[in-house]
Amino acid sequence: MKKKLIVFLILLFIILSSAFYKNYVDKRNISNKEDATMEIDNRKGEPRKIPALDFKLKDLNDKEIALSKFKGKKVMLNFWATWCGYCVQEMPYMQNIHNETRDKDVIILAVNVGESKDKVKKFIEKNNYSFPVVLDENQEVAQNYGVQGFPTTLFIDEDGFVYSGIQGPMTDDIMRKQLKIN
One domain for residues 70 and 158: yes
One domain for residues 31 and 100: no
CATH code of the domain in which 73 resides? 3.40.30.10
One domain for residues 13 and 90: no
One domain for residues 61 and 149: yes
One domain for residues 82 and 159: yes
Domain containing residue 54? 49-179
Query: Could you give the dihedral angle defined by the CA atoms of residues 63, 91, 182 and 160, in that order, rounded to the nearest 10 degrees?
Result: -40
Q: Are the C-beta atoms of 60 and 121 separated by less than 8 Å?
A: yes
One domain for residues 95 and 31: no
Q: Are the C-beta atoms of 161 and 50 separated by less than 8 Å?
A: yes
One domain for residues 100 and 24: no
Q: What is the mean pLDDT of each run of 10 residues along the chain (182 residues)?
A: 61 56 45 40 63 97 97 97 98 97 92 98 98 97 96 97 95 95 77
pLDDT at residue 37 in the model: 38
pLDDT at residue 49 in the model: 79
- The amino acid occupying position 50 is I
- Number of independent structural domains in the chain: 2
pLDDT at residue 90 in the model: 98
One domain for residues 6 and 94: no
Q: Are the C-beta atoms of 111 and 80 separated by less than 8 Å?
A: yes
One domain for residues 23 and 89: no
Q: What is the model's pTM?
A: 0.75
Bridge-based pairing of strands 40-41 and 46-47 is antiparallel
Q: Are the C-beta atoms of 59 and 132 separated by less than 8 Å?
A: yes
One domain for residues 29 and 103: no
The Cα 57–Cα 134 span in angstroms is: 6
pLDDT at residue 142 in the model: 97
One domain for residues 26 and 83: no
Q: Are the C-beta atoms of 110 and 78 separated by less than 8 Å?
A: yes
One domain for residues 91 and 163: yes
Give the relative orientation of helices 172-179 and 85-101 as an angle to the nearest 10 degrees: 50
